[in-house]
Structure 1
Amino acid sequence: MLPLALGLGLLLTLPALIAVAHLYVTGQAKLNLIENLHRNLSATLNITASSGCRVCPDAWAHHNGKCYFFSSSGKNWKQSQDHCVTLGGHLVIVNNQEEQTFLSKKAKGEFHWIGLSDLETEGQWIWVDNTPLDKTGPVFWMKRPEGQDEPDNWKVEDPAGEHCACLSDVRGEWHDNSCRKTHKFVCETLAPK
């Protein structure tokens, strides 16, 4: 009777053992697939990271390790800077000709505030990170064939003068403008690593 009971017990547990074996094999195959996907994704991420490619938030453009946000609506200069800060950046600081060219192309023929002003002292242009404008480095003030070049602190529209800089609507050169005016703006921040 005992051999019959053992035989019957084995016969009843055999389907359960087969089901467990099937789950094990299926699970192992899925684990192998996940490990292969992980390996491939890790290799891709390593290649991406080593190539310097970085990803910016939605609506931000990537260029040379920085992320740039070109607004679709206008604000005055201070509101623009405050808005950039809420987005985790600041109004753009232009460091070289290549960056200036990139900004000018992306601005698409519209005025955009940049992070440069002489609000503290007339004629002493300071970036939003408190570094002074290096006049020996790249500066992109508009040069007029006739009349005064920018910055000109024109007081016709605003008796307080023009103390905030923007990219022009023509060639992207810099203009000083009344900080009260409403323009689109460009924010920047470092691209995440």
Structure 2
Amino acid sequence: MSDSKEVGKKQLGPLGHLGLNHVPLALQVFFLTVCSVLLVVILVKVFKIPSSQGQEPSSQEVYQELIQLKAGVDRLCRPCPWDWTPFQGSCYFFSVTQRTWNDSATACQNVGAQLVVIKSDEEQNFLQQTSKTRGYTWMGLIDINNESTWHWVDGSPLTLSFMKYWNKGEPNNLGEEDCAEFRGDGWNDTKCYNKKFWICKKPKASCPSK
């Protein structure tokens, strides 16, 4: 009886199944082949790439994609930043806080702009009306270097044609008033250390033509 039990133990695998050594070689090969085929089928289904995508794109297709990409980029181009207001060929930033004239000029320089320099009557009217709804606002006009000789921050002098925009009785230089502001319907000279709103100006960016 002990011999028959030993034989039975040798015929059973570790989990109570027949050991693989007792399966015919042909059946083993068949089993491994089926498993391999199933594995290949699964891998193909998981990683299969449509034949249309697997083809090498032609130069014409690449060119068309580049054209579409460029058109998308062009549409993103803005002549003025989001928080700036366009007018004619320039962009204007109207502040929502108040600073001294010097600090306002520095704030504009930090964003690649200047305190506004007025070049036309149309621009003056646009800025005057916009400032009127906001409050007293700095412009880039001063006479610090030479009293009563007003010039813009770009170095250009104030021409006679713009003298009409001073409010009545201004500029009066009452107590060293060397900086100009938009006030009401015209301009006023005031102390540069007072805190006002301000306007920055810079040219519009060049966007590709549509």
- Taking structure 2 as the reference length, what is the TM-score of the superposition? 0.64
1:86-135 per-residue CA deviation (whole Å, 9 max, x = no partner) reads 33322111111222222123211521010011111122211111122233
Q: Does 1:163 align with 2:165?
A: no
Distance 2:141 2:51 in 1: 62
Letter in 2 for 1:15: I
Asked if 2 retains the 8 angstrom alpha-carbon contact of 1:92 and 1:186, the reply is yes
CA RMSD, Structure 1 to Structure 2 (Å): 3.6
Question: Paired residue for 1:69?
Answer: 93
Distance 1:143 1:123 in 2: 15
Letter in 1 for 2:79: R
Letter in 1 for 2:198: F
Match of 1:42 among 59, 70, 76: 70
Give the number of the structure whose alpha-carbon radius of gyration is greater.
2
* Uncovered stretches (5+) of structure 2, i.e. residues with no partner: 1-25, 58-62
Structure 1 residues 21-40: aligned runs within 5 Å: 21=48, 24-25=49-50, 28=53, 40=68
Asked if 1 retains the 8 angstrom alpha-carbon contact of 2:112 and 2:202, the reply is yes
* Uncovered stretches (5+) of structure 1, i.e. residues with no partner: none
Structure 1 residues 1-193: aligned runs within 5 Å: 4=30, 8=34, 9-21=36-48, 24-25=49-50, 28=53, 40=68, 42-46=70-74, 53-56=78-81, 58-107=82-131, 108=133, 110-136=135-161, 138=162, 141-142=165-166, 144=168, 148=169, 150-153=170-173, 155=174, 158=175, 160=176, 162-168=177-183, 170-171=184-185, 173-193=186-206
Distance 2:85 2:195 in 1: 22
Letter in 1 for 2:42: P
Distance 1:26 1:99 in 2: 61
Distance 1:95 1:118 in 2: 18
Distance 1:92 1:17 in 2: 66
1:77 to partner: Cα distance: 1.6
1:143 to partner: Cα distance: 5.1
Distance 2:201 2:87 in 1: 10
Asked if 2 retains the 8 angstrom alpha-carbon contact of 1:119 and 1:163, the reply is yes
The number of aligned residues is 171
- Taking structure 1 as the reference length, what is the TM-score of the superposition? 0.69
Identity of aligned residues (%): 26
Distance 1:163 1:175 in 2: 10
1:20-63 per-residue CA deviation (whole Å, 9 max, x = no partner) reads 21xx239949xx9xx999765632543676xxx5131x533233
Higher helix share: 2
